[in-house]
Amino acid sequence: MAISTSKQVLVIGAGFAGLSAATALAQRGYRVTVLEKNEGPGGRARVFRAAGFTFDMGPSWYWMPGVFEQYFARFGKKVADYYDLVRLDPSYQVVFPGDDAVDIPARMADIRQLFESIEPGSAAQLDEFLRQAQYKYEVGINKFVHMPGRSVLEFADPRLLVDAVRLDILQSMHKHVRRFFRHPKLLQLVEFPILFLGATSQNTPALYSLMNYADLALGTWYPKGGMHKIVEGMVQLAQEQGVTLEYNQEVQEIRVEKGRATGVQTAAGFRPADVVIAGADYHHAEQQLLKPEWRHYDEAYWNSRTMAPSSLLFYLGVSKRLPKLRHHNLFFDEDFEQHAHEIYEEPQWPSKPLFYVSAPSQTDPTVAPAGHENLFLLMPVAPDLADPEETRERYYHQMMDRLERHVGENIRDFVVFKRSYAHQDFGADYHSYKGNAYGLANTLRQTAILKPTLKSKKVSNLYFTGQLTVPGPGVPPSLISGQVVAKEVEKEFSIKN
């Protein structure tokens, strides 16, 4: 039930976190306007169309379906009210050295059989691994990720301390998975979400085995029409709740007087506000939109952070079908540990990169013309690298060599549309710090209260949301981040009122 309030909230950025925060506050009676720099909503999950193809620009994996269901349910809605989901089977394909391709099935019985065929005895080990991962998922997603991370006192409840111990926060993912599995293929299967979203397995808490439960037990899904259908559904819901969205409205400054944000400045003029929520890149919002005296962190702090990877992306339209591909394809046919080392330990362009290919046209004929294939190539790379066109092209051909070898046919001569995207583009479109694609790495020293705070400590009515604050990178965490911030805003105003 909405409260009676005349408070004006301005949200900077129409990504998942910004839309989530805006909609939650509008439901409670706040007047909410979202100001978006780009021409449309979604942030990194924007969409573009060219030559008859529809390309999702960023996220392509739909995991943790319950998080989306819970989000829409808080407004009395269902996911099905806004888009249709299908479960992928196989969930994805992994290409190992020697063009050894393995499909990861959707059914748990088939997954157990696959593990057992690779490493005898591993099916029983998988059962125990996933039992622990399920606990981490249920406690982590239902309790810990909804904490604002503003004080260690949030964890003072003895029951939460017990949960924290059982969540394996102090043990590394690297050590944890090797208690269960030995075969390199299985190790790569359970560690790949870490490479794409966080840090090396040695520096990632074993808590994040919850991602394996999300992957193997809860499954990989796809919203018909593409991932941007989620954004379209969120925008429709936001508007139903009374949110106003304005595009091509880049915020130039957050104005502060006597420790309170009075509003924001755009090219069109000053916009007053009682609350400002920055859903844009945290570093940009704090270091560029605030005057120095109102910044909580400095450049030395930000430079000391461990960033999750950036990405080199290629959006390709191909004028023929490629039946050997699945919807999701992971190319682990080179040294897994070496690539991780070249992202996190000695940041550089990788010598022999791992990469990922999404072919949504394998599932969805609407994203490509008839007889064509829609391809999205992603290579995780270290942030803060120069990405000239010649570098992009060199890696394009490296990936295409291996992709063509796998499918057993020429692809490059059939490419009718091609667009690259990397560090410079992330910076230009999103003011992304060091050109990162995913935010902060999920290291122990960047977990919970050790992440950048969601509430400014110098500006009393300024909040931050998104992948650089709690709970972390990824679509479901960003969706939750907006809800957590909205709850904090409401709490602050209910106390003051």
Strand bridging mode 244-246 / 31-35: parallel
What confidence score (pLDDT) does residue 345 get? 86
Q: Which amino acid is at 119?
A: E
* Helix, strand, coil % in the chain, rounded to nearest 5: 45, 20, 35
What confidence score (pLDDT) does residue 340 get? 86
Is residue 64 a contact partner of residue 218, using CB atoms and an 8 Å limit? yes
The domain segmentation of the chain, as residue ranges, is: 8-51+65-81+226-305+442-496, 107-216
What confidence score (pLDDT) does residue 156 get? 58
What confidence score (pLDDT) does residue 321 get? 98
Each of the 497 residues of the chain gets a pLDDT tens digit; together they read 445 468 999 999 999 999 999 999 999 999 999 999 999 999 999 999 999 999 999 999 999 999 999 999 999 999 999 999 999 999 999 999 998 999 999 999 999 999 999 999 999 999 999 999 999 999 888 888 888 988 766 665 666 556 666 777 778 999 999 999 999 999 999 998 877 666 788 888 888 899 999 999 999 999 999 999 999 999 999 999 999 999 999 999 999 999 999 999 999 999 999 999 999 999 999 999 999 999 999 999 999 999 999 999 999 999 999 999 999 999 999 998 899 889 988 899 999 999 999 999 999 999 999 999 999 999 999 999 999 999 999 999 999 999 999 999 999 999 999 999 999 999 999 999 999 999 998 888 898 889 999 999 999 999 999 999 999 999 999 999 999 999 999 998 875 65
Number of helices (H), then strands (E), belonging to the chain: the values are 15, 19
CB atoms within 10 A of CB 401: 11
What confidence score (pLDDT) does residue 168 get? 79
* Residue written as token pair 């193809």: 53
For helices 158-166 and 122-142, angle between their N-to-C axes, nearest 10 degrees: 150
Give the single-character DSSP code of 366.
G
Q: Which fold has domain 8-51+65-81+226-305+442-496?
A: FAD/NAD(P)-binding domain (3.50.50)
In sequence order, the β-bridge partners of residue 358 are: 328, 376
Determine the Cα–Cα distance for residues 21 and 487; give it in Å rounded to an integer.
9
* Helix H or strand E segment including 267: none
What confidence score (pLDDT) does residue 165 get? 63
Is residue 197 a contact partner of residue 344, using CB atoms and an 8 Å limit? no
- For residue 129 the two structure tokens come to 């691994």
Is residue 209 a contact partner of residue 130, using CB atoms and an 8 Å limit? no
Residue in 64, 378, 343 with CA at minimum distance from that of residue 203: 343
CB atoms within 10 A of CB 214: 24
